[in-house]
């Protein structure tokens, strides 16, 4: 039975084959070997390109399956900043997803995000929404409109982000002196409402999602951040 799939990454394997990491709705992240994939089209391996929606089939068990068919259904020809953002999404998924777990919500979120990137949507809201949806779908999400005690976030309040817990209110009189984990209530409420037009809200949103992701990425930096750090227009750093 075939299944929709996106290619997250490929690498050479032996003399003529490829190993591809796929994102699918029913099996999540799947590793497949495309026999002869570096030579041509055997088993549809020529379709194994990033940002292409496939119909894929594979056989076997274990860590790596054998790809038997891959047919391209739709390409997302990203370029420029949109391409860099897409590579960032792929690296996040490779680092955070375990193999063989159903991930229909993440698959749909990824598809919708590629649609938005291709349409030229404003990158910051697109990436922040994807990051927050990804955290929630993986079970790492946290409320933006309530603190860790279940109390509503106050616009005039200030809150500290605690990994794997959420937002802790900070005592009155404490001011953000540049501490990376402190956030203004008004920024959190704007983010909860999806309102990312304000520059300061965007900065807070990027800082918050980066903190939330860091505790699950370990100490190893994301290559996409390092590669594109010199691009001044990018919003993934």
pLDDT per position as a tens digit, 13-32: 877 788 999 999 999 999 99
pLDDT at residue 71, as a whole number: 92
pLDDT per position as a tens digit, 88-97: 999 999 999 9
- Tokens 């996409």 belong to which residue? 224
CA 135, CA 139: separation in Å to the nearest integer?
6
pLDDT at residue 132, as a whole number: 95
State the Cα angle at 222 between 206 and 190, rounded to 5°: 10
CATH class for the domain made up of 1-75: mainly beta
* Percentage above 90 pLDDT, the chain: 70
pLDDT at residue 167, as a whole number: 96
Mapped onto helix, strand or coil, the DSSP state of residue 116 is helix
Mapped onto helix, strand or coil, the DSSP state of residue 123 is helix
- Tokens 């649609």 belong to which residue? 115
Helix axis angle, 123-137 relative to 80-96, nearest 10°? Answer: 10
pLDDT at residue 222, as a whole number: 79
CATH class for the domain made up of 77-237: mainly alpha
- Domain boundaries for CATH 2.40.50.140 within the chain: 1-75
Report the Cα 172 to chain-centroid distance in Å. 35
Helix axis angle, 104-118 relative to 80-96, nearest 10°? Answer: 170
- Examine the pLDDT at 231 and tell me if it is beyond 90: no
- Domain boundaries for CATH 1.20.1440.120 within the chain: 77-237
CA 126, CA 116: separation in Å to the nearest integer?
7
Between strands 3-13 and 52-59, the pairing is: antiparallel
Q: Please, are residues 191 and 161 in contact by the beta-carbon 8 Å criterion?
A: no
Which of 40-49, 113-122, 131-140 bottoms out in mean pLDDT, i.e. has the lowest? 40-49
- Examine the pLDDT at 115 and tell me if it is beyond 70: yes
Q: How far is CA 88 from CA 42, 81, 95, in A?
A: 29, 11, 11
Q: Taking all residues of the chain, what is their mean pLDDT, rounded to a whole number?
A: 88
pLDDT at residue 101, as a whole number: 87
Token couple for 115: 């649609």
Where is pLDDT greater, at 193 or 233? 193
- Tokens 């994939």 belong to which residue? 37
pLDDT per position as a tens digit, 142-161: 999 999 999 999 999 999 99
Confidence of residue 178 (pLDDT cuts 50, 70, 90): low
């Amino acid at each position: 039975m075939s299944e929709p799939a996106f290619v997250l990454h490929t690498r050479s394997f032996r003399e003529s084959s490829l190993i591809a990491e796929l994102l699918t709705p029913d099996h999540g992240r799947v590793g497949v070997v495309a026999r002869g994939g570096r030579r041509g089209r055997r088993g549809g391996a020529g379709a194994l390109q990033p940002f292409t929606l496939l119909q894929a089939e594979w056989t076997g068990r274990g860590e790596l399956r054998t790809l038997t068919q891959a047919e391209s259904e739709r390409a997302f020809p990203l370029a420029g900043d949109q391409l860099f953002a897409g590579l960032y999404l792929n690296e996040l998924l490779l680092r955070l997803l375990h193999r063989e777990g159903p991930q229909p919500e993440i698959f749909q979120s990824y598809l919708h995000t590629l649609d938005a990137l291709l349409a030229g949507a404003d990158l910051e809201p697109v990436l922040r929404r994807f990051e927050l949806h990804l955290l929630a779908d993986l079970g790492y999400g946290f409320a933006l409109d309530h603190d860790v005690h279940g109390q509503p976030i106050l616009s005039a309040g200030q809150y500290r982000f605690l990994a794997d817990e959420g937002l802790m209110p900070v005592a009155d009189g404490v001011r953000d002196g540049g501490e990376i984990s402190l956030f203004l209530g008004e920024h959190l409420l704007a983010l909860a409402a999806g309102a990312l037009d304000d520059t300061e809200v965007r900065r807070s949103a990027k800082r918050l999602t980066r903190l939330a992701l860091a505790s699950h990425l370990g100490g190893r930096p994301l290559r996409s951040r390092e590669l594109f750090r010199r691009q001044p227009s990018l919003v993934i750093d």
